[in-house]
Amino acid sequence: MRIPRSELRSVSSPFYGVIRGAQAYPLGQIDLSVTFGDHANFHSEVLAFKVVDLPGSYHAILGRPCYAKFMAILNYPYLKLKIPGPNGIITIGSTFSHAYTCDREHYELATAVINSTELLELRNSATPVVPDCNGQTF
């Protein structure tokens, strides 16, 4: 989004849940206007987003604070989000194939991050083996 880091407010606490078992430290926090709907029926609110330098399949993760602010109702089986608008209900949906693709990308990313963390831990805990000229190790 090319937002300068100078516009980010500092955040000191990490957050969890993006990658299982791993914590992420935000670069900062920023308030952005979020709009659902179209020109005839829309609902806008300002939300606070924590900004992380983390590769991922998601560009933004909306959680309970967002749903509460928009008074949204989620329907997971049908992949629908319903929000009250000035001219009726705003419905946002997705397809099962798109949801599967996002979940698969997130799974692969999480697996790579966890594996790289475990590999680093193994590398740090292993004692180096130095062979001598007779082929024995000490």
pTM exceeds 0.75 for this model = no
For residue 102, the model assigns a pLDDT of 81
Give the residues of the chain that fall short of pLDDT 70.
Answer: 17-22, 55-59, 127-138
For residue 130, the model assigns a pLDDT of 66
For residue 132, the model assigns a pLDDT of 65
For residue 36, the model assigns a pLDDT of 94
Q: Cα(126)–Cα(132) distance, rounded to whole angstroms?
A: 19
